[in-house]
């Protein structure tokens, strides 16, 4: 069996946890980048796009990032994967026929990438090659990534920001660790997860179901409001993710959350499909 034949052999989904399959997929260019729109809540206009990598597996089909990214990270393959993602995303943003300097492309980075020597130079080189200005890129970091190796990662975050790249924190909350990050790092934006705010799905709910939903909803909204107020008090922009209902959008406006993404606004789609989704926010009270 030749080299190419071995690379083309079929694979059961159980084999996806093997790093060798990630290497083969990189070699065969099986990873694709999908883009999810980020929308200005008040106007409904496009404010940015988040780049989300997908594995277009020839036998299994489209595989979401959470299925293979942990394997890639353990195998030391996450940075090559994200380098390809950034290159594709930068070219996509550069070629978008939208005349605004405020529209950024968002790239997620993990702790293992933030401690890599030369990361900022690598990102800057890709941006130079694709012709995308550094202030058109936003790097999104999870709280755990920022705490994994505080001194090294803090230095990298400051270097990214000094290069003109925006910094955002995913899954922001109002706990003390998060507040410490806001005080000590150059954070431009935080993102709040709305999946904790329940939506009534049962068309004929009982009184008990309604009461429980109201209690859960009130608790979740109070927690989100505390996080929003805290972030705004530090002069940090606030966005939201997993916005999946009109009720969620109304909540964003009540809390003065300016940017949002989620299925009600647009699902992650391929480059070819991007722009075919239409969300009109004018009817939302």
pLDDT mean by block of 10 residues, the chain; 285 residues: 45 67 90 93 89 90 88 89 92 77 86 89 94 92 73 90 94 73 85 82 72 84 87 89 89 90 92 69 47
pLDDT at 180: 73
Closest alpha carbon to 47 in 238, 235, 217, 187? 238
Label residue 218 exposed, middle or buried (CB < 10 Å: 0-12, 13-18, 19+). Answer: exposed
Is 255:228 a contact under the CB 8 Å cutoff?
yes
* Residue-level pLDDT at 260: 94
Domain 36-49+72-260: give its CATH code.
3.20.20.450
Confidence (pLDDT) at 165 = 95
Residues 6+ apart with CB under 8 A from 25: 31, 55, 57
Residue-level pLDDT at 175: 67
Which pLDDT value is given to residue 1? 42
- Tokens standing for 80? 């090559």
What is the pLDDT at residue 3? 46
The pTM of this model reads 0.84
Distance CA 20, CA 38 (A): 34
Q: What is the rounded distance in angstroms from the CA atom of residue 159 to the CA atom of residue 228?
A: 26
Tokens of 208: 């008990």
Tell which residue, 278, 262, 282, 272, has the closest CA to residue 36: 262
Nearest Cα residue to 83 out of 37, 36, 47, 33: 33
Enter the tokens of residue 166.
């925006």
Q: Is residue 228 packed enough to be buried (19+ CB in 10 Å), middle (13-18) or exposed (0-12)?
A: buried
């Amino acid at each position: 069996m030749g080299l190419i034949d071995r690379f083309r052999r079929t694979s059961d989904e159980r084999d996806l946890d093997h790093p060798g399959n990630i290497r083969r997929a990189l070699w065969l260019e099986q990873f694709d980048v999908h883009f999810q729109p980020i929308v200005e809540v008040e106007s409904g206009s496009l404010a940015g796009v988040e780049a989300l990598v997908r594995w277009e597996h020839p036998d299994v089909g489209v595989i979401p990032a959470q299925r293979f990214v942990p394997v890639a990270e353990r195998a030391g393959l996450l940075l090559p994967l994200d380098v390809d993602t950034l290159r594709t995303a930068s070219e996509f943003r550069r070629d978008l026929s939208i005349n605004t300097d405020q529209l950024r492309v968002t790239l997620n980075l993990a702790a293992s990438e933030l401690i890599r020597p030369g990361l900022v130079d690598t990102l800057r080189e890709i941006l130079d090659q694709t012709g995308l200005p550094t202030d058109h890129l936003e790097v999104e970091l999870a709280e755990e990534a920022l705490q994994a190796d505080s001194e090294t990662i803090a230095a990298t975050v400051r270097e990214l920001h000094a290069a003109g790249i925006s910094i955002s924190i995913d899954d922001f909350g109002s706990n003390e660790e998060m507040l410490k990050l806001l005080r000590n790092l150059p954070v431009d934006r935080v993102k709040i997860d709305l999946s904790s705010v329940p939506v009534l799905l049962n068309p004929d709910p009982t009184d008990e179901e309604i009461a429980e939903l109201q209690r859960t909803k009130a608790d979740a909204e109070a927690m989100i409001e505390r996080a929003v107020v805290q972030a705004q008090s530090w002069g940090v922009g606030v966005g939201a993710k997993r916005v999946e209902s009109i009720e969620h959008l109304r909540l964003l406006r009540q809390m003065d959350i300016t940017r949002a993404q989620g299925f009600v606004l647009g699902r992650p789609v391929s480059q070819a499909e991007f722009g075919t989704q239409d969300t009109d926010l004018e009817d939302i009270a």
